[in-house]
């Protein structure tokens, strides 16, 4: 009986590990900041995108995929200065959404200028994005970020 229980436990552990190995994470994010003056900095948000996958632009019409969005936590130490910028996206008709959409492949860097009222701070917030390939879309993901500015 103990041997059967041990085999059942081992099988359950192996099945659990196999399921974890199948979770798709085709996009990884990294962040940085560069001070351009005593009162200004530029934040960088880099998405490294797996082969065959893409991340959508911030400028998507309603009825399409979830657009990439950046939300900054309120602070007395910094304030976003203007909109978050992005390079020119690839644009094409996507049948699943029945509309033309803008997206990025391989990698993309979004930038946000901030006004600083403190010599050092940490800019916090959240980004939301959605990733798809030619056969599937993954559930939109929210990621909290924390970027030191020195």
- 7-59 pLDDT, tens digit each: 443 444 444 444 444 678 999 999 999 999 999 999 999 999 999 999 999 99
Tokens of 127: 């980004």
Q: How far is CA 6 from the centre of its chain?
A: 41
Domain-located, residue 7: no
Domain-located, residue 19: no
pLDDT, tens digit (0-9, with 9 covering 90-100), for 127-147: 999 999 989 999 999 999 999
Backbone φ and ψ of 120, nearest 5°: -135, 140
- The number of domains in the chain is 1
Cβ-in-10-Å burial (0-12, 13-18, 19+) of 46 comes to middle
CATH number at residue 95: 2.60.40.1250
**Distance in angstroms (rounded) separating the CA atoms of residues 101 and 55:** 11
Domain-located, residue 16: no
Domain region containing 104: 25-149
Q: Please give the span between the terminal C-alpha atoms of the chain, in angstroms, as a whole number.
A: 62
**Distance in angstroms (rounded) separating the CA atoms of residues 57 and 60:** 6
* pTM as predicted: 0.84
Q: Is 77 left (phi over 0), alpha (psi -120 to 50) or beta?
A: alpha
């Amino acid at each position: 009986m103990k041997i059967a229980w041990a085999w059942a436990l081992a099988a359950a552990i192996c099945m659990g590990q196999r399921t974890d190995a199948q979770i798709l994470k085709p996009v990884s994010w990294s962040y940085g900041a560069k001070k351009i003056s005593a009162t200004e900095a530029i934040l960088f948000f880099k998405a490294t995108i797996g082969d065959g996958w893409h991340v959508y632009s911030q400028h998507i019409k309603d009825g399409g995929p979830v657009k990439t969005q950046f939300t900054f936590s309120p602070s007395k130490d910094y304030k976003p200065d203007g909109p978050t910028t992005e390079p020119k996206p690839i644009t094409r008709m996507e049948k699943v959404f029945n509309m033309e959409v803008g997206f990025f492949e391989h990698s993309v860097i979004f930038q946000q200028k901030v006004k600083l009222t403190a010599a050092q701070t940490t800019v916090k917030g959240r980004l939301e994005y959605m990733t798809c390939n030619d056969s599937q879309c993954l559930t939109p993901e929210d990621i909290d970020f924390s970027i030191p500015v020195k």
